[in-house]
Every structure is written in C-alpha cells, then in structure tokens.
Structure 1
Amino acid sequence: MMNWDDLRYFLALVDCGTLTGAARRLQVEHTTVARRIDALEAALKLRLFDRLVRGWQLTTEGHDLVAHAREVEERWFNFERKALSTSKMEGIVRISAPPSLSTFVLAPQLKKLCTSLTGVELELQAERHQVSLGKREADIALRMARPQTAGLVIKPLANVGYGLYASKTYLKKHKEEDWEFVAYEKNSATPHHQWLEDYLMPRKVVLRSNDQMVLAQCAAAGLGVAVLPHYLRQSHRDLQRIEQQACPMRRKLWLVMHDDVRRSPRVRAVADGLIELFSSAEVSDLLT
C-alpha cells in the first residue's frame, strides 16, 4: 500500500529539483528522500522521476500527478490544522522568527513563558525565509513585513527602532567626515538599508553582508559604521550608538498565525505569552 507521507517527499523533490535540496527542506538525509521516492514509485507501479546527472526530472506520468498531490497535501494540512484546534494544552508549538531577533530578544526572554506552560514544548526556529503557516512549518511566525496571504491572523506586536552604530574605538579615531561603512547587500529592499544607501552617498562601503549579526560584529571590530536594530547593541559591549546622526527608521514587528491553529489552546497560550513579553518594559527598552 502507498504511504501517504511519501507525497511530502515527492513534492519536496518536485520543488527543489535535487535530493540534497529536498533533504534540506525536510531535514532528513538525501538517502531517505531517494528511498521514499523509490517506495512511492513501487506502490504506484509508476516511474515518477528520471534520475539524471544534473538532477531528478519528472517523467510525464509524474508531471501529471503533481497537481493532484498538491491537492492531497492541502487537504492533509487542513485536517491537521483543524485537529490542532481541538487539541489539549500539551505538545510542541513552533515559533519562527528572524535569526537576530531570536538570538538577542527571544532566547534571553523565554524562560518565564517556558516555565509557565506546563506540558508545552517550544521550538524556536531562527530563519530568514518566510515559512508556510498553511503547511504547518510553524505555528506562530514573527515577521518584519505584514503578510498578504489570506487565512492568516495578523497582529502588530512591537515597533523596532534602528540606529547608526560603530565601535567606541573607531569613533575616537575617526572624524565623521572620515567614516566608512559596513552595509547590507546592494539589492536589499529593507527600508533601513535603503535609508543608509541614501545617507552614505558618496562615502565608502568597505564590506557588505546579507546578515545583520555579521554587520554588527564587523562594526564592533572597527571596520566601520553600520545601521542596526537597537536590540543588536547588546551583541558586543564595544558597540556604541551614534546619537548625533539618528536613523529615523522604525519597523513594525507582526505576530502571525493561521486562522485554524489560533483556536488551539497551546498555540493561543504561547501567542498570548509573546504579546505580553513584547509589551513589557524590558523588551521595549531593547527595541527602542
């Protein structure tokens, strides 16, 4: 008989095109993906993929089944979300949040929430990409951009402020007109990095990165000036906020859940705990 769970492996391989990519998405070994695809083909008595050197390519039969597989997947996730809404106050609740926010705001502040929710295990996923709440990749997401997807419950959680930062040593040695900068990658669309691009013209950028924590460490090491969220000032004791050149950017942080799972007692309890946490004076001081 066919194992319905094998459809997850089928669709992951369709989307990623390689065993390695599918394995990374599913957090398994690539041999597991190959084995599950082999099992699915054997159960269906169909060859779904041609095994090519450059990757696995759908056969005609496999291509014809993709839409049906996605329909089954959506029905399964719908069933899973509905089941979660009737669950008890126990089990895992997955929170997805940006890496720097997870490291310097959530992780140091979650002890009270963890100890107050007996029977609930938190799983904090620090990731840049936006997970699918519909596919239960997370139960709660904290996002810096307001989602536009239908079927989501969205609540403004906090305002995140930004500023110019450099090491104390760097600011002692360099006059403002001699400042050099460490900045985000050139094609970044985030408002605070767009503001910096306008601000620093025509001054020199000595390093670019796609990671805020890398920029914070570079600034702390004396490479130059960076625009950072205020909560990253605690990432290094030598980082100093440049008060005389304030960055006016403030971005909203949103708490997002799928409409089906918000009725789950454990998800609702964690969401309420996060709302309380971000309304506290201690966290507000970190963000502003």
Structure 2
Amino acid sequence: MRDWENLRYFLAVARQGTVLGAANQLGVSHSTVLRRIEQFEKALGSKLFKKLQRGYELTLAGEELYQNAQAIEGNIDHVLALAEGRDDVTEGKLRISQPEIGIINVYPLYAEFRRQHPEITLEVHSTMQADNINQQEVDIVIRISESPPELLAGRCLGKVKGKAYANRKYLDTLPADATPADYDWIVWQMTATANLKYLQSLNIANPKVVMYAGSMPDVVSAIHHGMGAGFLSTQQAQLHKNLVALFDGQTLAEYSIWILTHRDLRNSERVRTFMRFMAENLILD
C-alpha cells in the first residue's frame, strides 16, 4: 500500500521548490523530507525531481503527478478528517495549539484533565502563530480571536483583561515623586504599537522602553525580576504576588479566548471531552 503521507511531502517540495522550505511547512527535519521523497520515488519507480543549484524542479513524471495529486488532495483530506471525526474512543493523542505561556494559565487544568483522563496524551504547541487546523496539524486551538474562522466549531471561554504592572520592589527603588513617565518599560514586540499608544494616551509622550521582548514569557520574567513596568493579562499577574497594578488598575484591553476544532472533528470523543472540560473549568477573571 502506498503511503499518502509521502504524497504530502512530494506536494510540499513541489510547491516550495526546496527541501528546506518543505521541511518548514511540514514542521519536520530536512532529512525527513529527503527520506520521504526517496521512498516515494522508489515505490513509484520514477524520478520526480531534478536537483538544481537553485532548488528542486519537477521532472515530466513529477509534473504529471503534481497535476493529478492537486485534484485529489482536498478529497483525501476531507475523507481522513471525516474518519477521525467519527472516532468514538477517548484514549489516544490530542494535539492542542495554545497561546504562549504568560497570557493564560492553563496547566493546572491540564494536570487535572490528565488525572481524570489518564488514557489521553496531550501534545501541546505554545505559539502565537496559527497552527493550521484545516490541514490537521492540530486537533484543537485555544486562540485569542474576535471572529473565529467559519470552518471551525467551538465556543468563547471568556475574556482576558490586560493591565500595566510593576514589581513592588522595583517601585520602591524609584524616587518618591516618580511618575509612570519616569518608569522603565518592558514591551512585547507583538503588541508594541498598541502598548506605546496606550502610554501616550496617558500623557507619557516618550516612554523609556528598556526591553522589547520577543515572547510573552520574557515579558513576565522581566517584570517579575524588577527590570521595569509592562503589560500582562490579569490572570497571569495573579500568579505573582509581588506585582502591583498601575494606573489605578485600569484595563488596557480585553481579548476573547476561544476553544475551537474543525467541524469534521467535533464528534470525536477525545475532542469533545477536552473542550467540555475546559469550558466548564477555565476561569479567566
């Protein structure tokens, strides 16, 4: 039986034009892509690519296969999704994509879920990028969104509030007459523009930014260890008793948190069990 996964690898290389590009798209190693293509060519008895200095180019056999494969790719994905969506067993792996640690605190719930359902293994991806649930990269996404894609099914778990915080010890090092305009500020690169606009709206025309952090865990650590003030979700800030809410606890923004799955997976027992548990137990504010 020929492996449908090998056809996925073939299509990725054909579209990207390089093995590295295909590896990045599929989330696998360079060597894995090469091995899959070699296996596929051996199984078919045909050379599918010509290796050039600039990358990989389809042979005549490869071009013909590419045209035919594109026509059936969507149908195969749909059939596989339907089959997985009708899985009526609880045990197995559940692949979850969630926001970076530091936005919402879900691990206490994961721990309780595993105690209740030891037969389910969790594969967790913490990222602000949109893992492609339509391509079956993950089974469930927990996402900040105001308008979830139409092909996904799920529910809003509530809202996360964002406020400005600083370590109490950091504030104690400042002069008695210091104002937020004198603070050192920690800014998450993803929300830097919104953060700076917010500060400017409070008449802090030129906030002193001492760190542009590439990830939310970096922001949390920097504020927690007294590098300066910054913006956190209230749920995350509650984990650190040394943090003080600034601007009289004024809310900067509110973000809706959704838990979503593909419509074809909504009847999967694993998916339904996890989504129901999260909806019943997650408390955001």
* TM-score band w.r.t. shorter chain: 0.7 to 0.9
| 2:95 matched residue in structure 1 | 94
CA contact (8 A) 2:200 2:206 kept: no
CA contact (8 A) 1:170 1:222 kept: yes
CA contact (8 A) 1:192 1:249 kept: no
| 1:195 matched residue in structure 2 | 198
| 2:152 matched residue in structure 1 | 152
| 1:6 matched residue in structure 2 | 6
User: In 1, Cα distance between the equivalents of 2:69 and 2:199?
Assistant: 45
User: In 2, Cα distance between the equivalents of 1:143 and 1:65?
Assistant: 37
C-alpha distance 191-204 of structure 1, shift in aligned 2 (>3 A): closer
User: In 2, Cα distance between the equivalents of 1:136 and 1:113?
Assistant: 23
Deviates more, 1:169-178 or 1:190-199: 190-199
CA contact (8 A) 1:12 1:22 kept: yes
User: In 1, Cα distance between the equivalents of 2:57 and 2:8?
Assistant: 15
C-alpha distance 195-110 of structure 1, shift in aligned 2 (>3 A): same
Q: Does 1:139 align with 2:139?
A: yes
Deviates more, 1:209-218 or 1:19-28: 19-28
Aligned length: 278
Q: Does 1:40 align with 2:44?
A: no
Deviates more, 1:226-235 or 1:167-176: 226-235
Offset from partner CA, 1:126-156 (integer Å, 9 cap, x none): 1221111122111111110245533211411
Deviation at 1:254, TM superposition (A): 1.0
| 1:58 matched residue in structure 2 | 57
Question: What TM-score, normalized by structure 2, do the two folds share?
Answer: 0.83
User: In 2, Cα distance between the equivalents of 1:234 and 1:20?
Assistant: 42
Q: Does 1:74 align with 2:74?
A: yes
| 2:85 matched residue in structure 1 | 85
C-alpha distance 270-245 of structure 1, shift in aligned 2 (>3 A): closer
Q: Which of 232, 252, 257 is the equivalent residue of 1:253?
A: 257
Q: Give ranges in structure 1 of 5+ residues lacking alignment.
A: none
- The DSSP-based 3-state class of the residue aligned with 2:250 is coil
CA contact (8 A) 1:7 1:73 kept: no
User: In 1, Cα distance between the equivalents of 2:11 and 2:198?
Assistant: 40
Give the AA of the match of 1:58.
E
| 1:217 matched residue in structure 2 | 221
Taking CA–CA contacts closer than 8 Å with sequence separation of 6 or more, which of the two structures ends up with the larger relative contact order? 2
Give the AA of the match of 1:215.
V
Deviation at 1:275, TM superposition (A): 0.4
Deviation at 1:22, TM superposition (A): 3.5
Deviation at 1:98, TM superposition (A): 0.9
Q: Give ranges in structure 2 of 5+ residues lacking alignment.
A: none
User: In 2, Cα distance between the equivalents of 1:30 and 1:213?
Assistant: 29
Identical columns (%): 27
- The DSSP-based 3-state class of the residue aligned with 2:133 is coil
Deviation at 1:37, TM superposition (A): 1.0
CA contact (8 A) 1:160 1:253 kept: yes
Give the AA of the match of 2:58.
T
- The DSSP-based 3-state class of the residue aligned with 1:155 is strand
User: In 1, Cα distance between the equivalents of 2:216 and 2:196?
Assistant: 11
Question: What TM-score, normalized by structure 1, do the two folds share?
Answer: 0.82
CA contact (8 A) 2:96 2:141 kept: yes
